[in-house]
């Protein structure tokens, strides 16, 4: 497709054109370009010809591929082999921006929040989601239109642009059900516990009825606060300090899968490392500035952190990560006798942790279960089980102690 809209920056709320000769990947990343039909984020493709007249936008690889724009325009390009998400534009970074914006309303709250708190208000959350579904197009639109005409957004002095910008944001929020649920949980707990100048809020949105439904009142409060947050984000961007503090923790539990190919053995084991804590980088994010780490700590055998940090941060020093057992993940044998992990983790990391921990435990490179055992980061039974998983593809079902000895001999280490 050749047209998109921008959520941020000087073009916020406006249409941008792929053929614009001044458009760059960098600008598209900063402007958070999205599809005017489905509000999914898009990425920019630069045509190889120097005229740049054939530049275009594509939808990311979202699970929901029903957008008519995606189907009418992306397909042809994909068939020509142009479908790769390019130049450090990636879906994960684009979508995590949504979380930063909305959780930025109260970072400390969303950091603390856990699933139990949401459960308590679940029926009101569900009816409020339904409310949005039923009222977004008319009632919400009427409220927002009144707001933009009477109060105005960011001094844009262009009600048409303001209304469509705010309505697009609400569609973006509606598309992200997980964020919407958390946000509702937050506002409902506030709404039920605080006094509000509801008359003043009603006046801003041109509604004054005293017998409004509970969901109406909740959404008026939400719109008021969300518009405040969006104006600060549109004016100043999202605060970079929120990146590491906003995190919704979720309980995860999974079995560590065996290697699906031969375990590579290479490199010298890093026996010389003498840190109380060790952090091993396991994934570079495509956005280029974030790295995910598995961190072990001597004082907490069989526990590890899975965290995401900016590239510039040195986290090899134990002080900077503040390892705490309550916040970390536990390596253990589950009831089936399998090597498993459980604990609380940032929701956004839940997908990559399985790969990350397998990568460090099961490979035969400079960091492996041999080093972790030697350093006291993991126990012997965990190391033996990890060796079994590491070698299963190549050597079948060795017993854990056999596998451990095999692993050690393959690694060339002739210690006890």
Residue (62 or 395) nearer to Zn ion, CB: 62
Smaller CB separation from Zn ion, 71 or 324: 71
Helices and strands of the chain, counted as H and E runs:
18, 11
Q: How far is the CB of 277 from Zn ion (least distance, A)?
A: 45
- Residues 398 and 407: their CA atoms lie apart, in Å, by 11
Unique residue bearing structure tokens 């090597």: 339
Taking the complex as a whole, the smallest distance from the CB of residue 3 to Zn ion amounts, in Å, to 11
- Examine residue 402 and tell whether it contacts Zn ion (CB under 5 A): no
Q: One symbol per residue from 129 to 168: x for binding Zn ion (CB under 5 A), - otherwise; what is it?
A: ----------------------------------------
Specify the residue, 67 or 221, whose C-beta has the smaller distance to Zn ion: 67
Instruction: Write down the H helix ranges in 136-237.
Output: 141-150, 159-175, 177-193, 198-204, 214-236
Q: What span, in angstroms and rounded, lies between the C-alpha atoms of 243 and 100?
A: 7
User: Using CA atoms, how far apart are residues 177 and 136, in angstroms rounded to an integer?
Assistant: 15
Give the whole-angstrom CA distance, residue 275 versus residue 283: 21
**Euclidean distance between the first and the last CA atom of the chain, given in angstroms as a whole number:** 63
**4 sits near Zn ion (criterion: CB under 5 A):** no
* Angstrom distance (rounded) from CA 94 to CA 169: 14
Number of shown-chain residues binding Zn ion (CB under 5 A): 5
Determine which residue in the list 7, 31, 69, 105 makes contact with Zn ion, applying CB under 5 A: 69
CB 334 to Zn ion: min, Å: 42
Q: Which two tokens stand for residue 342?
A: 């459980």
37 binds Zn ion (CB under 5 A): yes
Per rule CB under 5 A, is residue 286 in the interface with Zn ion?
Answer: no
In the list 35, 226, 246, 291, the residue contacting Zn ion (rule: CB under 5 A) is 35
Nearer to Zn ion, 67 or 341 (CB): 67
**Rg of the chain taking only CA atoms, in angstroms:** 25
Comparing CB distances to Zn ion, the nearer of 59 and 408 is 59
- Residue 58 Cβ vs Zn ion, minimum distance, rounded to whole Å: 10
Q: Does 74 bind Zn ion (CB under 5 A)?
A: no
Beta bridge partners of 342: 253, 330
Sole window of 29-37, 182-190, 316-324, 381-389 interacting with Zn ion (rule: CB under 5 A): 29-37
DSSP string of 162-173? HHHHHHHHHHHH
Q: Which is nearer to Zn ion, 38 or 256 (CB)?
A: 38
Place of tokens 């190889």: 48
**Distance of closest approach, residue 135 Cβ to Zn ion, in angstroms:** 23
Choice between 39 and 202, CB closer to Zn ion: 39
DSSP 8-state secondary structure symbol assigned to residue 47: -
User: Which position among 6, 12, 67, 256 is part of the footprint of Zn ion (CB under 5 A)?
Assistant: 67
290's enclosing H/E stretch is strand 290-297
User: Under the rule (CB under 5 A), what is the footprint of Zn ion?
Assistant: 35, 37-38, 67, 69
């Amino acid at each position: 497709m050749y047209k998109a809209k921008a959520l941020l920056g000087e073009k916020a709320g406006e249409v941008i054109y792929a053929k614009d000769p001044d458009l760059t990947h960098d600008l598209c990343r900063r402007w958070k370009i999205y599809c005017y039909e489905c509000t999914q984020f898009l990425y920019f493709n630069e045509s190889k010809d120097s005229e740049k007249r054939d530049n275009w936008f594509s939808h990311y690889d979202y699970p929901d591929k029903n957008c008519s724009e995606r189907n009418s325009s992306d397909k042809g390009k994909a068939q020509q082999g142009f479908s790769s998400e390019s130049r450090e534009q990636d879906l994960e970074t684009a979508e995590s921006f949504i979380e930063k914006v909305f959780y930025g309303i109260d970072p400390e709250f969303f950091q603390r929040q856990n699933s139990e708190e949401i459960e308590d208000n679940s029926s009101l959350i569900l009816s409020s989601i339904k409310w949005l579904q039923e009222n977004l197009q008319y009632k919400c639109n009427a409220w927002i239109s009144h707001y933009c005409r009477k109060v105005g957004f960011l001094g844009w002095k262009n009600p048409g642009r303001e209304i469509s910008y705010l309505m697009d944001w609400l569609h973006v929020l509606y598309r992200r059900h997980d964020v919407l649920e958390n946000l509702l949980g937050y506002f409902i707990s506030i709404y039920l516990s605080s006094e509000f100048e509801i008359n003043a809020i009603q006046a801003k949105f041109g509604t004054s009825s005293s017998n409004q439904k509970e969901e109406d009142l909740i959404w008026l409060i939400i719109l008021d606060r969300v518009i405040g947050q969006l104006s600060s984000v549109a004016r100043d961007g999202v605060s970079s300090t929120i990146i590491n503090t906003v995190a919704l923790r979720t309980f995860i539990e999974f079995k560590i899968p065996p290697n699906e190919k031969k375990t590579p053995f290479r490199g010298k084991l890093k026996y010389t490392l003498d840190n109380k804590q060790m952090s091993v980088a396991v994934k570079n994010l495509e956005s280029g500035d974030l790295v995910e780490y598995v961190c072990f700590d001597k004082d907490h055998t069989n526990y590890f952190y899975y965290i995401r940090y900016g590239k510039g941060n040195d986290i090899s020093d134990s002080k900077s990560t503040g390892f705490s057992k309550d916040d970390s993940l536990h390596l253990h044998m589950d009831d089936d006798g399998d090597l498993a992990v459980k604990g609380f983790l940032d929701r956004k990391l839940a997908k990559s942790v399985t790969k990350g921990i397998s990568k460090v435990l099961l490979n035969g490179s400079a960091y492996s279960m041999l080093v972790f055992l030697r350093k006291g980061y993991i126990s012997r039974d965990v190391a033996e089980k990890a060796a079994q998983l590491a070698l299963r593809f190549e050597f079948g079902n060795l017993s854990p102690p056999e596998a451990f000895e095999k692993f050690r001999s393959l690694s060339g280490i002739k210690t006890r």
